[in-house]
Structure 1
Amino acid sequence: MEDKDLIQLALGIIPPWFVKELNLDTSKKRMDIYLDFIKGSKFLCPVCNELCPIHDTKERVWRHLDFFHYETYLHAKVPRIKCNGHGVKLIDLPWTRQNTGFTLFFEALIVAMCKEMPVASVADIVHIHEDSVWRILSHYVDKAKEERDISYIKTIGVDEIAVKKGHNYVTLFYDMEEARVIHIENGKGKDVFQKFRTEIAGKVDHEQIQYISMDMYPAFKSGAREYFPKATIVFDKFHVIKMMNDSVDRVRRTESKENHVLKNTRFMWLKNPDRLSEKENVIMESIKNLDTKTAKAYQFRLALQRLWTIKETSIAREYLDKWHYWGTHSNIPEIISVSKAIKKHAQGILEAMKNGINNGVAEGINNKIKTAFKRSYGLKTEKYRNTMIYLMAGKLTLPTRC
């Protein structure tokens, strides 16, 4: 087999295209592959798919996957056809998309690499500008977002994450069934629900949304009620326990100022007993029965967590009522406050339990997003930020031709 035939086979080039010439420059570590088409060939109109004669050609060059350690470029005279119905049009090529200087294989590699490492590092490795990498990512992420199916969604999750210092937040909307981000909005006011409803119009009937899982943030509750009035607002275990953990930690922080035995114990009070290390178990056993407000708050936390082991809704409601009574008589302001909040939202908590709704998937997704942010050392624009969120947490169908 000749070199040109081997390269043609490797590239997947089929008639009327063929490899005309190869040029390997070892000093520059570069390979140039020149493509041509069979004389007299006709090509499909990109609008109507009719075979049309060639009007003229344009010289084009595309960056391809490296062959071994040689940067590789494809060259071709790209035909413009003359269609009776649509005039002069540049044809579609099998190895690239319109208006880009890269092959489909190269772009697929870029997308795959960016899921595993910072964009700046990818750009450095493949020797292209960082903005070119972002343009490739944005194209495929936007295309995949448009093509995804969200018509079946009946339960959504809502949560906010900080994206900059100074209380700058974005609100993420999740498909709870597939554990993926389906929409991003700046801020965390009630208007994010209006914008989300507008975004999904035509893809999802907003009246089919049956449950919205969230924390107890007033703006979220207000927005959900106004723009999704038929949906039931539920409060899942993840957010309830998170709120309880925050209360326990506030108790510990206040008390540790006077009781030094509580210093450096923050994370032990937030873990379940079976998740403590051997060393932490020894420390916890020595302090959890002390007459401290922190130890008492910790017992309230464990008691609340047992709520989710109860399968019968009526029994769970009775248990929650008793827990509320116990909490409001604890003489610990932080526990009294959280007990009242949980009682106020009891119906939504029990509804989430009854239907097995848990927004805990959001925590795993959010951690993945935050990791991507950290490794990128900040993202230059809102567009880049959203592209990275969808890339990491959107479960989009992205190109795999590499």
Structure 2
Amino acid sequence: MDDKLLIQMALGITPPWYVKDIDLNVSKKRMDIYLDFTKGTKFPCPVCNKLCDLHDTKEKVWRHLDFFHHETYIHARVPRTKCDGDDVKLVEVPWTRQNTGFTLFFEALIVAMSKEMSVSSIAELINIHENSVWIILAHYVEEARAKMDLSELDTIGVDEISVKKGHSYVTLFYDLNQSRVIHIENGKKRSVFKNFREVLSRKIDPDNIKYISMDMYPAFRGGAREYFPNAKIVYDKFHIVKMMNDAIDKVRRKEYQTNKDLGKTRFMWLKNPENLSDREIAKIRSIKDLDTKTAKAYRFKLGLQRLWDIKNIEVAREYLDKWHYWGTHSNIKEIITLAKMIKRNSHGILESIKQGISNGVVEGLNNKIKTAFKRSYGLKTEKCRNTMIFLMAGKLRLPTRC
């Protein structure tokens, strides 16, 4: 088989295009493939799609996938057309998109690699500038986001993550049913819900949202009630237990001032009994024998966690009322404060149990995002940051032509 025809078949080039010439430079590890089109061919106008005669051509070069460790470049004189009512326009060619110096196959490879590698590593491996990688990723992310189907969206999760030092946060909105990030807002004020509603309204009726799962942060509660008045606010187990763990740690820190036995035990109180090592079990038992407030607070945590094992919602309501009574009579300031807060928001906790809504999906996605941030050693711009978040957690339909 003719080598030009072989390369043409490998590239997927079809008439009127054909491989005119191939230049393989072994010393430079570079291959240049020259394409041309059949003389007399008419091309569609990029504006009106009408077949037109050529106005002229413009020489173009695109980086393609490496050929056996040889950097490969495609060259072609791309036709320009001019039809009635339209200016001179460069026609679209099948192996690339407009205004890029890379083929579709090459860009698809970059997108696939970005799921496992940092942008800097990709750029170094394939020998292009980091900015070029970011431009490619941002293009396909935005294209996929525009096509994101939200027609079945009715349950959303909301959480904030720290994006850099100095209390800089972004608020992420999640589709809990599809386990994906669907929107990003800077900050964590109640206005993030206003902005989210405006964006969401371009695709669906925001009043279709039935449930919003989040923590008890006042700005979130206020924003959800103001901008999604028809949605029920629910508080899932993860956030409640996290608040409980924070309360235990406050008790431990205060009690440590007079009881040094509590030193180096911070992470033990975060675990459930079945996850403790033999050494940790012995340590906790010895602390319990001292009748410490920390050990007492830990028992309140275990009691609270049992709430989510109750399937009957009325029984769960009665249990939560009893736990609230025990907490407010615990003589531990931090537990009393938390018990009162949980009581005030018990409707959202019980609704979460009733509907089986959990933010476990959110925590899993957040971990993926944070891992990507660490792998990137910081992201230069907001656009880069958002692009990476959607790549990692957006479940976008991205190109796979590689």
Which bin holds the TM-score, normalised by the shorter protein?
over 0.9
How many Å apart are 1:395 and its aligned residue? 0.8
How many Å apart are 1:85 and its aligned residue? 5.2
List aligned pairs for 1:336-351, cutoff 5 A.
Answer: 336-351=336-351
1:114 corresponds in structure 2 to 114
Cα distance in 1, alignment partners of residues 342 and 252 from structure 2: 20
RMSD: 1.4
How many Å apart are 1:47 and its aligned residue? 2.7
Cα distance in 1, alignment partners of residues 359 and 165 from structure 2: 25
User: 1:113-163, CA deviations, whole angstroms, 9 ceiling, x for partnerless residues?
Assistant: 111111111111111111111100110001111011012211111110111
1:65 corresponds in structure 2 to 65
1:88 corresponds in structure 2 to 88
Given residue 10 of structure 1, which amino acid in structure 2 is its aligned partner?
A
Given residue 124 of structure 1, which amino acid in structure 2 is its aligned partner?
E
List aligned pairs for 1:166-181, cutoff 5 A.
Answer: 166-181=166-181
Given residue 333 of structure 2, which amino acid in structure 1 is its aligned partner?
P
Cα distance in 2, alignment partners of residues 90 and 13 from structure 1: 19
Cα distance in 2, alignment partners of residues 144 and 6 from structure 1: 33
How many Å apart are 1:188 and its aligned residue? 0.5
How many Å apart are 1:238 and its aligned residue? 1.2
Alignment check: 8 A CA contact 2:144 2:397 kept: yes
Alignment check: 8 A CA contact 2:46 2:92 kept: yes
Given residue 125 of structure 1, which amino acid in structure 2 is its aligned partner?
L
1:199 corresponds in structure 2 to 199
How many Å apart are 1:7 and its aligned residue? 1.1
Cα distance in 1, alignment partners of residues 108 and 61 from structure 2: 18
Alignment check: 8 A CA contact 2:24 2:31 kept: yes
1:35 corresponds in structure 2 to 35
* TM-score (normalizing by structure 2): 0.97
List aligned pairs for 1:155-174, cutoff 5 A.
Answer: 155-174=155-174
Given residue 317 of structure 1, which amino acid in structure 2 is its aligned partner?
R
Change (3 A) 1:65 1:282: farther
Alignment check: 8 A CA contact 2:22 2:33 kept: yes
User: 1:364-383, CA deviations, whole angstroms, 9 ceiling, x for partnerless residues?
Assistant: 11111111111111111111
List aligned pairs for 1:108-257, cutoff 5 A.
Answer: 108-257=108-257
Alignment check: 8 A CA contact 1:60 1:75 kept: yes
Alignment check: 8 A CA contact 1:159 1:173 kept: yes
Given residue 201 of structure 1, which amino acid in structure 2 is its aligned partner?
S
Given residue 370 of structure 1, which amino acid in structure 2 is its aligned partner?
K
Could you say what secondary structure the match of 2:321 adopts? Answer: helix
Alignment check: 8 A CA contact 1:152 1:204 kept: no
Cα distance in 1, alignment partners of residues 315 and 330 from structure 2: 23
* TM-score (normalizing by structure 1): 0.97
1:335 corresponds in structure 2 to 335
1:357 corresponds in structure 2 to 357
How many Å apart are 1:278 and its aligned residue? 4.7
Could you say what secondary structure the match of 1:83 adopts? Answer: coil
1:301 corresponds in structure 2 to 301
Given residue 262 of structure 2, which amino acid in structure 1 is its aligned partner?
L
Change (3 A) 1:288 1:64: farther
How many Å apart are 1:320 and its aligned residue? 0.1
Could you say what secondary structure the match of 2:120 adopts? Answer: helix
Alignment check: 8 A CA contact 2:81 2:88 kept: yes
How many Å apart are 1:275 and its aligned residue? 2.5
Cα distance in 1, alignment partners of residues 19 and 102 from structure 2: 18
User: 1:273-332, CA deviations, whole angstroms, 9 ceiling, x for partnerless residues?
Assistant: 223345444444444454111111111111100000101111000000000000111111
5+ residue gaps, structure 1: none
How many Å apart are 1:87 and its aligned residue? 4.3
Alignment check: 8 A CA contact 2:173 2:182 kept: yes
Alignment check: 8 A CA contact 1:289 1:295 kept: no
Question: Among the aligned pairs, what percent are the same residue?
Answer: 69
5+ residue gaps, structure 2: none
Cα distance in 2, alignment partners of residues 297 and 204 from structure 1: 45
Alignment check: 8 A CA contact 1:55 1:82 kept: yes
User: 1:185-214, CA deviations, whole angstroms, 9 ceiling, x for partnerless residues?
Assistant: 111010000010111112021111111111
Given residue 234 of structure 2, which amino acid in structure 1 is its aligned partner?
V
2:23 corresponds in structure 1 to 23
